[in-house]
Amino acid sequence: MRFRMVKLPFAPCLTLMLGVLLNTGAQAAPADELDTWLADKGLLSQIQQVRQNVSLKASELVVHAIGFLGVPYQRGGNTVETGFDCSGFVKAIYEQTIGLVLPRRAEQQAAATQNIEKKDLVPGDLVFFNTMRRAFSHVGIYIGDGKFIHSPKPGAEVRVESLAAAYWNRRFDGARRVDTAQDDSSPSVAAALRSQRSSDPIAGSFSKR
């Protein structure tokens, strides 16, 4: 099954290319199709800012997430082959990038992570929204400069949006930080995983935008 990747390479290839761009620190004007596309989307400077301002682990996480732009939304999905829902996307990115297994549902991810102020957001943090008239019903990954990446809703694809956009600003429900030193035996993650096993395994909370 093939996905339309917005004229970009298959996600792992794009991730590799972004990694090269990140590590070379290129500052010149876009010189190829990838650079041009990233510049058009306002993401070329974003990647450079991430490289300069955050840890290597956070840089890798953001680059990996951007590599999946264009993958379709799928309720209950958590792979590039099936598509992603919001929490499935977050879970996949953290597991594939740093080996940390987060709970499956958005509200469980919120419960398992550290509450932070919106002003303290850094790339790699999680942002939550109330899109279904209940708390923490949607989640995305903050990538810096007031933007986040997420899998938004049925019929849509993984994309980058601004926290300042009216729709998301009104529904913002809080920010959380993942303790990347923890694993699934840490108290907060373990409790969330126990809760997950006793509830609906499909966490595909989606926006009714």
Mean pLDDT along residues 161-177:
97
Residue pLDDT, tens place only, 40-85: 656 656 555 555 555 678 888 998 999 999 999 999 999 999 999 9
* Choice among 54, 86, 112, 160 that is catalytic: 86
Top-confidence residue, 189 or 119: 119
Write down the H helix ranges in the chain: 11-24, 33-40, 44-53, 56-66, 86-98, 106-111, 166-171, 187-197
Domains assigned to the chain = 11-197 (3.90.1720.10)
Tokens of 35: 């650079």
pLDDT band at 38 (very low <50, low <70, confident <90, very high): low
Q: Check if 138 is active-site.
A: yes
Residue pLDDT, tens place only, 83-128: 999 999 999 999 999 899 999 999 999 999 999 999 999 999 999 9
Q: Check if 150 is active-site.
A: yes
In whole angstroms, give the CA distance from residue 152 to residue 84. Answer: 9
* Choice among 64, 104, 105, 150 that is catalytic: 150
Q: Which of 15, 39, 13, 14 is nearest to 26 (CA)?
A: 39
Ramachandran assignment for 140, one of left (phi > 0), alpha (psi -120 to 50 degrees), beta (any other):
beta
77 and 83 Cβ atoms separated by less than 8 Å: yes
Q: How far, in Å, are 8, 101, 179 from residue 183 at the CA level?
A: 33, 7, 9
* Choice among 104, 138, 153, 176 that is catalytic: 138
Q: Check if 86 is active-site.
A: yes
